[in-house]
Amino acid sequence: GNSVTQMEGPVTLSEEAFLTINCTYTATGYPSLFWYVQYPGEGLQLLLKATKADDKGSNKGFEATYRKETTSFHLEKGSVQVSDSAVYFCALSLNDYKLSFGAGTTVTVRA
Amino acid sequence: GAVVSQHPSWVICKSGTSVKIECRSLDFQATTMFWYRQFPKQSLMLMATSNEGSKATYEQGVEKDKFLINHASLTLSTLTVTSAHPEDSSFYICSVKRDRGRRVENSPLHFGNGTRLTVT
């Protein structure tokens, strides 16, 4: 079946620190990969996506590269801000709009 | 602003009662909506796919008679947890797939803010 495993949190960082959240997946087929973010009090929002191997998704300073050889899609940001405090979810889809999510990683950035 | 409204945001009910959760698209039509559930420290798990005008499609292990889904219009899907028990306490979230239109967007999926259900 399809599954996503992501780094357990919570993660607490200082402003301007480097953030990495690991995500690996298993899938029957060739999935699209996503990172969703949920800010406090809001719904899930798509942060970035990649639809095929070696694609790099990027948005708001975040990046993730679709690595087929390691079945990974790690999220990175070089310099985090307090406003990046949120819950981050890695997810995959086999293009049927049904998403398989990781457990979510809570990130708190301190000023 | 928000394009999907999910209501209520939280609810507490007694065992044996039923609870209805609404998911509404605010400015677009959606033939398809999805319902997810998240237990503490676990992934969001897809429960069912809601299709306007037809029966919902449930994922394996999800009881159809317990989690009733109605998608009677192109902007509204409801999830009713019938005869709720404490083990049904969870976070329920809907995802709405915007029907194809002229608008170009990164993803046609939009999420509600979720509903925290506590059954006492």
pLDDT digits (tens, 9 = 90+) for B20-48: 999 999 988 999 999 999 888 788 899 99
Does the distance separating the beta carbons of B44 and A43 come in below 8 Å?
no
Does the distance separating the beta carbons of B106 and A101 come in below 8 Å?
no
The model's pLDDT over A49-77, given as tens digits with 9 standing for 90+, comes to 999 999 999 999 999 999 999 999 999 99
Answer whether A4 touches B (CB < 8 Å).
yes
- A103 dihedral zone (left: phi>0; alpha: psi -120 to 50; beta): alpha
Does the distance separating the beta carbons of A104 and B43 come in below 8 Å?
yes
The model's pLDDT over B3-12, given as tens digits with 9 standing for 90+, comes to 899 999 999 9
Q: For B40-89, where are the E strands, in sequence order?
A: 44-51, 57-58, 67-73, 76-81
How many beta carbons lie within 10 A of that of residue B40, not counting itself?
8
Cβ-based contacts of A95 with chain B (< 8 Å): none
Cβ-based contacts of B1 with chain A (< 8 Å): none
Residue in A89, A92, A93 with CA at minimum distance from that of residue A107:
A89
The residue in chain B having the minimum alpha-carbon distance to the alpha carbon of residue A105 is B41
Residue in B108, B88, B83 with CA at minimum distance from that of residue B98:
B108
Contact A34, A91 (CB under 8 A): yes
The residue in chain B having the minimum alpha-carbon distance to the alpha carbon of residue A102 is B43
d(CA A37, CA A106) in angstroms, rounded, equals: 10
Cβ-based contacts of A44 with chain B (< 8 Å): 93, 95, 111
Pairing of strands A75-77, A62-65: antiparallel
d(CA A67, CA A54) in angstroms, rounded, equals: 6
CA torsion sign, B54 to B23 to B40 to A27? positive
d(CA A45, CA A37) in angstroms, rounded, equals: 5
The model's pLDDT over B43-81, given as tens digits with 9 standing for 90+, comes to 889 999 999 988 999 999 999 999 999 998 999 999 999
> Max CA-CA distance within chain A?
43
End-to-end CA distance of chain A: 41
How many beta carbons lie within 10 A of that of residue B33, not counting itself?
30
Answer whether B92 touches A (CB < 8 Å).
no
The model's pLDDT over A3-39, given as tens digits with 9 standing for 90+, comes to 999 988 899 999 999 999 999 999 988 899 999 999 9
